[in-house]
Each structure stands twice: as structure tokens, then as C-alpha cells.
Amino acid sequence: MRIKKVIVLKKKLLFLVWSFTLIMTLTACGSKANANSKSHGSDVKKTSSVQTTTINWKKPSENKPYPNMNVKKQNWLSVSISQQRVYVMSKQNKVLYTMNCSTGANNATPRGTYHIQAERGNHFYNAASKEGANYWTSWKDHGIYLFHSVPVDKHGKYVVSQAEELGKKANSHGCIRLSIADAKWVNQKVPFGTKVVIK
């Protein structure tokens, strides 16, 4: 009887931790709703474009296979805020693959060295910021800072105006936005513990 109570308590605790993590995930990418609520006219003077060519925010960033992220290979991710790029790096610091990204507006993406965490999922939506994303993967604070797709609205439809700024403008709330295909690859193929360096 005592063992059953312990198991029930463990399940309740696990559910509470999971619920807390989910709530924190939903607030992380939407807690700074005002970052994207300004009119486009008021932002024109403050923003600069990193790239002027068209980026397909639905497809992989490059026309070649993604690198093998087997843990033994010790590949890692380097995020360049100034270039709005995520570089998949080899153990020997060679660029294996380059992904377009959009980091946090107003320097909201923390710089430093982190690691891919256990928390990941297929979809989230934050009612406060009126946006969500697909294929999210945590890299800091267990569900607070994420790699994820370009944003979606409450109906799960991609926000094209934001998606078209991928690789050109830092416009997230602190997370790192990727193309749909790139976000899915990170979510499904980049293992727990992979190093993430953000500069």
C-alpha cells in the first residue's frame, strides 16, 4: 500500500513539473509581446537588414543533407546574432551547415554557452503574445529559451509577415526562430547535451 502511495505521489510531482515547464515555455516566447506589437512604420528606422535575398522559410536553409549529429561526432551549434545565422560546427570548428535564423529583438537572446536540454515538443501557443511555433527545442532554462519554427497564430497558421523576416531581422522574444524544416531537424536530430554557443 505504501509503495502505491509513493508511486502516485511521484506521478503527481512529475505532472506538476511538466505543467510548470509547459507554462514557462508558453511565457518565454511571448512574455515580451510588445516587441512585435509596434507598427511596422515605427520600426523602420531602428532595424537593419542582414540579408536582402529571398529566404524560403518553409524549406531547409541549404540544398544539401543535414549533418549527422551523432553524439560521438561532437558537432555543435554556433548562433551568430549579428549575422542571424545558426552554424552547425564540427568538432574541428568547421562549418558543416548554415541555417537562417531570427534571434531576439532588442538583444533579448542571451549570449553564452549552453546545451540542448531534454524539453522539446511539436507545438506551443502563447495567448498573451498571440503567437506560437512548431518544433521547439529547449537550450536554456528548461523550456524558456528555445529553437523553434517561424511563428504561428492561434489557428496554427504561419505568420507570413514574420516568417519573411527570417535571417534578415532579429524579431523574436528571445528564442531562436528557424525555417520549418530546420526547426524540425533540430527538434528530431540534435541530441540532448549538444553544445550551443551564442555570440
Query: Alpha helices of the chain — where are they, by DSSP H?
Result: 2-28, 40-43, 160-163, 180-189
In the annotation, is 175 catalytic?
A: yes
State the catalytic residue, choosing from 29, 101, 148, 173: 148
SS3 129: coil
**Rounded to an integer, what distance in angstroms lies between the CA atom of residue 191 and that of residue 70?**
7
- What type of residue is 93? N
Catalytic site includes residue 101: no
User: Distance between CA 79 and CA 81 in Å, rounded?
Assistant: 6
CA-CA distances (angstroms) from residue 54 to 58, 91, 102, 164, 183? 12, 31, 14, 8, 18
The three three-digit cell numbers of residue 181, written as one number: 524544416
Which amino acids are annotated catalytic?
148, 175
